[in-house]
A = this chain, B = another copy of it.
Amino acid sequence: MPRAPARPAREPVCEEHHPASPPGGPPLSVAEAQRMGEFFAVLADPTRLRLIALLEKEEHCVCDLAAHLATTESAVSHQLRALRAARLVTYRKEGRQVFYQLHDHHVLGLYRNVREHLAE
């Protein structure tokens, strides 16, 4: 993942526009941009978005989710792991089944916001 082999970065020559401190608050450090990018990356996959959509209103077990997405339970399980790692979902075990639900309400707002935006 780390793509940091010390870039050469030419010295710029266009004189008139290089204020020492960039405008508009701290210019987003590399580390902060990294975390932010990782967060958006979790939402950048159609399958994960459809999982979030299915979990929007109520919890679902894995095989339920796989059935609705018409994909394999393995694929769903892999994606749920990503959502778990990003702390976007939590789970509850009940017998053999594992029920997932959305963890972060903030993400739900984000999802609805963007969905509405793209619907124009």
Which A residues form the contact surface with B (CB < 8 A)? Answer: 7-14, 17-18, 22-25, 27-28, 30, 32-41, 43-50, 53-54, 56-58, 60-61, 63-64, 66-68, 70-73, 75, 97, 106, 110, 113-115, 117-118
Residues of B within 8 A of A50 (CB): 27-28, 30, 33
Residues of B within 8 A of A61 (CB): 14, 17
Residues of B within 8 A of A14 (CB): 61, 63-64, 97
The answer, among B10, B36, B110, for a CB contact under 8 Å with A46, is B36
Bound CA–CA A24/B61 (angstroms): 16
Bound CA–CA A73/B7 (angstroms): 12
Interface contact A9-B63, CB-CB below 8 Å:
no
Interface contact A66-B9, CB-CB below 8 Å:
yes
